[in-house]
């Protein structure tokens, strides 16, 4: 029997303006096009897991506003249980303002809003309401206040779940959290920052310095992923060949697929290879959530 995927993380709305070039300070550039998309690392990861057939429960917060209604509806339509998504009357829904030029360069400003308002008490209460977490996977991203992220990890671990921590961004992470982290999923830059070493340092040595409970899984983009377990030799999961169009959301697809595969009871090596494939497929379409694969699409390339 499959366990649940419980995602604790951010829920945003992305407001995107595409124009020929980015404005200089104080300048207005006209003639652009506008798009609105649901986003936030937590929301994206929840959708990625749900598309693969996992039973997904989202814990996070939005404001009592139109953007919050849109964000909640988008998750529900994707099959995510949003009963744990708090509506905060005192904070706005998280917003990312994104400017993109014709060359693909972008400038992003984020107002985290309700994502920073959800507290440890609310997270602990929701985890408790879900009952036993044995067989479940708790996936936590770091777009929350540090105390909230820490509570999600310790609460998930104490409840019997397998915990995945995606340290994006890598700021504000307390190494003491790793006592409650089974799997850590940084990219290279995040790994070097967490390990306190210079960029370009040996990846395996840096991963070995992080005292997580099971393994550090370093995402390497077009090179796939490197798994550094606490015991045994490191091993790699190669990327699948794809025609890359847009890398937005690839990391979220990876983490969502990893959580979904583990919740199904798949072995870690199989789960990582499926996660790498899901991240690759996500780059073949424009948009963070638009490219996330279905179960059938992933099975076609990764089994």
- Sequence-ordered alpha helix ranges (H) in 24-159: 41-51, 66-77, 120-129, 146-158
Residue pointed to by tokens 């090596």: 269
Q: What are phi and psi for residue 248, nearest 5 degrees?
A: -60, 130
How many alpha carbons lie under 13 Å from residue 142 in its C-beta half-sphere?
19
Q: Is 263 within 8 Å of 4 (Cβ atoms)?
A: yes
Tracing tokens 């995107």 back to the chain, one arrives at 16
Question: Whole-angstrom Cα distance, residue 60 to residue 46?
Answer: 11
Residue 107's H or E segment, with its range, is: strand 106-111
Q: Which residues are catalytic?
A: 252
């Amino acid at each position: 029997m499959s366990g649940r995927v419980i995602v604790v993380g951010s829920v945003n709305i992305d407001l995107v303006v595409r124009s020929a070039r980015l404005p200089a300070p104080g300048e207005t550039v006209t003639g652009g096009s506008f798009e609105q998309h649901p986003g936030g690392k937590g929301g994206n990861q929840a959708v990625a897991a749900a598309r693969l057939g996992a039973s997904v429960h989202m814990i996070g917060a939005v404001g009592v506003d139109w953007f919050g209604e849109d964000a909640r509806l988008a998750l529900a339509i994707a099959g995510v249980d949003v009963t744990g998504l708090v509506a905060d009357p005192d904070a706005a829904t998280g917003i990312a303002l994104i400017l993109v030029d014709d060359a693909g360069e972008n400038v992003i400003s984020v107002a985290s809003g309700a994502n920073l308002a959800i507290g440890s008490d609310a997270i602990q209460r929701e985890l408790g309401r879900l009952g036993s977490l044995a067989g479940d996977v708790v996936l936590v991203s770091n777009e929350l206040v540090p105390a909230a992220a820490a509570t999600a990890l310790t609460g998930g671990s104490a409840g019997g779940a397998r915990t995945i921590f995606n340290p994006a961004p890598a700021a504000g992470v307390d190494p003491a959290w790793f006592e409650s982290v089974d799997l850590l999923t940084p990219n290279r830059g995040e790994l070097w920052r967490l390990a306190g070493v210079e960029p370009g340092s040996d990846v395996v040595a840096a991963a070995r310095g992080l005292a997580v409970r099971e393994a550090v899984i370093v995402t390497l983009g077009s090179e796939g992923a490197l798994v550094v377990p606490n015991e045994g030799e490191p091993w790699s999961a190669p990327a699948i060949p794809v025609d890359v169009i847009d890398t937005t959301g690839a990391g979220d697809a990876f983490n969502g697929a990893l959580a979904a595969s583990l919740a199904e009871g798949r072995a870690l090596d199989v789960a990582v290879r499926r996660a790498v494939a899901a991240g690759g497929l996500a780059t073949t379409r424009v948009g963070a959530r638009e490219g996330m694969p279905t179960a059938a699409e992933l099975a076609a390339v990764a089994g």
